[in-house]
Amino acid sequence: MIWDVKFDQVYVKYGGFAALDNLSFSLEGGKIYGLIGRNGAGKTTLLSLLASYIEPTSGTVLVGGEVPFENETVMEQVTFVHETDYRNETDTVKDMLEGSKRYRPHFDADYAAKLVERFGLPLHKKIGQLSKGMQSALSVTVGLANRSPVTLYDEAYQGMDAPTREIFYRELLEDQAAHPRTILFSTHFVSEMDYLFDEVLILDRGKLLLQESYDLLIHRGVSVTGSAESVDEFTRGLQVLNVQRLGGTKSAMVYGELDDGQRRAAKQLGLELGPVPLQDLFIHLTRGEEVPHEDENQHL
Ligand SMILES: Nc1ncnc2c1ncn2[C@@H]1O[C@H](COP(=O)(O)OP(=O)(O)OP(=O)(O)O)[C@@H](O)[C@H]1O
């Protein structure tokens, strides 16, 4: 079962403030999407629409061709894994997995048991008594084992240590290959997770800055390094996102695909061309004015 997602001119407004500002895009089913954006960009708001937690102020959201809000058919096919305060949770790990078995039509109990073992989760312990990292491992276990056609992860892996996150990424890729679904990851661990993404969506202050296949996007960022003079000559007219200098050497981060002629010209100028990691592109594409608003300063 493969479900697609469609947003058409979607606004979510809180008073006069647009948390999502005229968003239109489509997600083909069966792929892994990285949803990245700075704090407050609107990532959780976007995922909450898909999970039926909220409805848009205006515009249309479709999941598998249906409006998700208060739609039980859609709700049982969407899993939203997000950070949860489990401090007072008295259910055990086993209780939670049994709940998933009852309410999630594609839940795979054998796979859940395998994940419980992989993550070293104590089946009979109360969830409120698990460490933060174990609570996160339990959340992603549910996210994986539910095998929901649409699975949303909103920073739910924060408490997990690096080896545990690595297990999660490996399981995710393996299980996605066997049981493709539509997965959206909201994450700030961009450099660690980028290899998981088929496509990337960058949100910037409620707007969609870009949606691009990961491979194309990475191809579009190029670092140009060499003598300051040659770098300046080569990058004239190109979109330069960032520049670093060290003595007479300069390195420019260029955004835009270079054709063969440009690559030959770079070589003739003695310039070195290199890749730019997604994380760096993201940082520089979403760099707004870093200076606080004047009126905010006045009251400090
Ligand atoms: N219930 C609400 N009432 C008012 N404003 C809200 C509400 N929920 C979210 N916002 C605002 O909407 C904007 C987007 O918030 P959202 O949580 O979607 O961002 P985010 O990209 O997930 O951020 P982060 O990376 O910090 O988690 C923020 O400016 C936030 O303050």
* 16 in contact with ligand 1, CB cutoff 6 A: no
42 Cα: distance to centroid of ligand 1 (angstroms): 6
Question: Is 282 a residue whose pLDDT tops 90?
Answer: yes
Q: How far apart are CA 282 and CA 299, in angstroms?
A: 32
Residue 43 CA to ligand 1 center (angstroms) comes to 8
pLDDT of residue 259: 93
Rounded mean pLDDT, 239-264 = 93
* Token pair in block for residue 218: 């990475």
Mutate to test the pocket of ligand 1, among 12, 13, 45, 154 (most ligand atoms within 8 A of CB): 45
Whose Cα sits closest to atom 28 in ligand 1? 40
251 close to ligand 1 (CB < 6 Angstrom): no
Q: How sure is the predictor about 258, in pLDDT bands with cuts at 50, 70 and 90? A: very high
What's at 48, amino acid-wise?
S
Flag whether pLDDT at 297 surpasses 50. Answer: no
pLDDT at residue 289, as a whole number: 54
Q: What are the tens digits of pLDDT across the range 113-135? A: 999 999 999 999 999 999 999 99
Q: Which domains does the chain have, with CATH numbers?
A: 5-205 (3.40.50.300), 228-285 (no CATH)
* pLDDT for the residue 132: 93
Q: What angle do CA 193, 198, 201 make, to 5 degrees?
A: 80
Atom index in ligand 1 nearest the CA of residue 47 equals 18
Instruction: Report pLDDT for 208.
Output: 96
Alpha-carbon span 299 to 288, nearest angstrom: 22
Q: What percent of the chain has pLDDT over 70?
A: 96
How sure is the predictor about 1, in pLDDT bands with cuts at 50, 70 and 90?
confident
Please tell me the distance between residue 126's alpha carbon and the centre of ligand 1 in angstroms.
Answer: 31
- pLDDT, tens digit, 9 for 90 and up, residues 81-91: 998 889 899 99
DSSP H helices, the chain, are: 43-50, 72-75, 93-103, 109-119, 132-145, 162-178, 190-193, 214-220, 228-235, 260-268, 278-285, 294-297
pLDDT band at 159 (very low <50, low <70, confident <90, very high): confident
Please give the Cα distance from 231 to 227 (Å, whole number): 6
pLDDT of residue 294 exceeding 50, the answer is: no
Q: Which pLDDT belongs to residue 78? A: 96
Centre of ligand 1 to C-alpha 7, Å, is 18
Angle between helices 109-119 and 132-145 (to 10 degrees): 150
Residue nearest to atom 27 of ligand 1 (CA): 39
Centre of ligand 1 from the C-alpha of residue 205, in Å: 10
Does ligand 1 come within 6 angstroms of the Cβ of 40? Answer: yes
User: Can you tell me the mean pLDDT for 155-178?
Assistant: 93
Q: Is the CB–ligand 1 distance for residue 105 below 6 Å? A: no
- pLDDT score, position 2: 86
39 CB within 6 A, ligand 1: yes
- For atom 25 of ligand 1, the residue with the nearest CA is 39
Q: Is the pLDDT of residue 156 over 60?
A: yes
Residue 296 has pLDDT above 80, yes or no: no
Instruction: Say how far apart CA 103 and CA 271 lie, in whole Å.
Output: 59
Q: Considering only CA atoms, which residue is closest to atom 29 of ligand 1?
A: 40
pLDDT over 50 (residue 147): yes
pLDDT digits (tens, 9 = 90+) for 21-71: 999 999 999 999 999 999 999 999 999 999 999 999 999 999 999 999 999
What's the complex ipTM? 0.97
Q: Is the pLDDT of residue 299 over 90?
A: no
| Sole residue written with tokens 């990691």 | 277
User: How far is ligand 1, taken at its centre, from the CA of residue 187, in Å?
Assistant: 14
Cβ atoms 250, 231 nearer than 8 A: yes
Whole-model pTM? 0.91
Query: 44 CB under 6 A from ligand 1?
Result: yes
Residue nearest to atom 3 of ligand 1 (CA): 14
Whats the size of the chain, residue-wise?
A: 300
Lowest average pLDDT, out of 241-245, 248-252, 279-283, 291-295, goes to: 291-295
Judge whether residue 268 has pLDDT over 50.
yes
Using the atom order of ligand 1, give the atom closest to the CA of residue 203.
21
Q: 29 burial class (0-12, 13-18, 19+ CB within 10 angstroms)?
A: middle
SS3 64: coil
Supply the residue whose CA is at minimum distance from atom 26 of ligand 1. Answer: 39
Check pLDDT > 90 for residue 274.
yes
